[in-house]
Amino acid sequence: MSTERLIVVGGDAAGMSAAAQAKRRNPGLEVVVFERGPHTSYSA
């Protein structure tokens, strides 16, 4: 069985918004965010 996976590069406003929205629309989707810095946006 294959799992659909979304890779997001960048964990600031745009990246975390996209990741959260994708997960809301498709809870079964595996979402991975790569962020080069030490923090991500938490208000997306």
Number of residues that bind ligand FAD (CB under 6 A): 11
List the one residue from 37, 38, 42, 43 that touches ligand FAD (CB under 6 A): 37
Q: Which residues contact 4 (CB under 8 A, 6 or more apart)?
A: 26, 28, 29, 30
Q: How many CB atoms lie within 10 A of CB 7?
A: 10
Q: How many residues does the structure list for the chain?
A: 44
Residues from 7 through 36 that contact ligand FAD (CB under 6 A): 9-15, 34-36
Q: Counting contacts by CB under 6 A, is residue 38 touching ligand FAD?
A: no
- Which residues make up the interface to ligand FAD (CB under 6 A)? 9-15, 34-37
